[in-house]
Amino acid sequence: MSEFKQTFNSSLGKKLIMALTGLFLCTFLIVHLGGNLLLFKHDDGYAFNVYANFLTHFPPIEVIAYILYLCIIVHAIYALVLTIANRKARPVGYAVTASDNATWQSKNMGLLGSILLLFIVIHMSDFWYRYKYTSSVHFMEYRTDLSSGVTQAVEFTPTSPDFENSVQTVNNFEIVRVKDLHARVQTSFSQLWYVIFYVIAMVAVSFHLKHGFQSAFRTLGWVHRKYTPIVEFIGTWLFAVIIPLGFALMPVVYYFTRS
């Protein structure tokens, strides 16, 4: 047990934890982007609000969410610890000794991580915290005619302060009542400063993931001349281009078309 503890208290152990938590967060980004793309549907926020309700009321997802929060905290703490340790000693990368050929993002992971941590705090307080723990997010009622498939949306005011959501079928109408997180998104994305900060954060995500995704595989020793080019391709195009671009488009589109 002492050897196990000693291993994960070592520099290599900290880097292994950074790699594992980082890859878990990369997986989350794929799922999160897929869900957030529902914002682009012109359905008065129906699909997105149902998705948000599912994330916060399905127990297995809630367990995964708390694991996610833990990974963010651990990743940030270990990044800080490693950054301080590296500055006290000779500069060392994730798995190989840094050289003059090191990329800009590899030399500035601390700066990029700090921007992302600030973004996460603002983002979660604006959406997650408001959604779960305040009464500032109102409710919507969606009535879907089961014969025609047409859905109508109206504001809904619960009669009970403990009301969270409901789904029922009345006279061939499916009635869904959920919190209106979509309206909160519209409000946030109508503010120019928020849109600019969001885009800057996504640029930071791009650079952070371009280096971090590939470095995680090197740290774990998953390096092979046959598969490394595939890892580099995924790290560059999926995590450094497609995912940040997908997230960045959301506030931009909302600001110019729906604010």
Give the separation between CA 214 and CA 184, rounded to whole angstroms. Answer: 35
CATH number of the domain bearing residue 224:
1.20.1300.10
Question: What's the confidence (pLDDT) of residue 118?
Answer: 94
Q: Indicate whether 142 and 132 sit together in one domain.
A: no
Q: Indicate whether 74 and 118 sit together in one domain.
A: yes
Q: Indicate whether 204 and 220 sit together in one domain.
A: yes
Give the separation between CA 63 and CA 183, rounded to whole angstroms. Answer: 26
Q: Indicate whether 226 and 161 sit together in one domain.
A: no
Domain count, the chain: 2
Q: Indicate whether 174 and 207 sit together in one domain.
A: no
Which of 156, 179, 202 represents a domain boundary (last residue)? Answer: 179
Q: Indicate whether 61 and 22 sit together in one domain.
A: yes
Q: Indicate whether 124 and 75 sit together in one domain.
A: yes
Question: What's the confidence (pLDDT) of residue 90?
Answer: 58
CA angle 52, 200, 93 (to 5 degrees): 100
Give the burial string for 229-255 (b: 16+ CB within 10 Å, else e): eebeebbbeebbeebbebbbebbeebb
Q: Indicate whether 90 and 42 sit together in one domain.
A: yes
Q: Indicate whether 65 and 124 sit together in one domain.
A: yes
- Please, are residues 140 and 154 in contact by the beta-carbon 8 Å criterion? yes
DSSP assignment of 135-171 equals S-S-EEEEEEETTT--EEEEEE--SSTT---EEEEET
Give the separation between CA 35 and CA 38, rounded to whole angstroms. Answer: 6
Q: Indicate whether 106 and 55 sit together in one domain.
A: yes
Q: Which residue range(s) make up the domain with 242?
A: 2-137+181-257
Which of 129, 147, 179 represents a domain boundary (last residue)? Answer: 179
Q: Indicate whether 149 and 206 sit together in one domain.
A: no
pLDDT in tens, the chain (259 residues): 555 555 556 778 888 999 999 999 999 999 999 999 999 998 999 999 999 999 998 999 989 999 999 999 999 998 888 888 777 765 544 444 445 567 888 778 888 888 999 999 999 999 999 998 888 899 999 999 999 999 999 999 998 888 999 999 999 999 999 999 999 999 999 999 999 999 999 999 999 999 899 999 988 888 888 888 999 999 999 999 999 999 999 999 999 987 6
Which of 179, 209, 236 represents a domain boundary (last residue)? Answer: 179
Question: What's the confidence (pLDDT) of residue 259?
Answer: 61
User: What are the beta bridge partners of residue 179?
Assistant: 139
Scanning the chain, the segments in alpha helix (DSSP H) are: 2-9, 11-36, 46-57, 59-88, 104-107, 109-124, 130-133, 181-188, 192-219, 228-233, 243-257
Question: What's the confidence (pLDDT) of residue 227?
Answer: 87
Q: Indicate whether 49 and 99 sit together in one domain.
A: yes
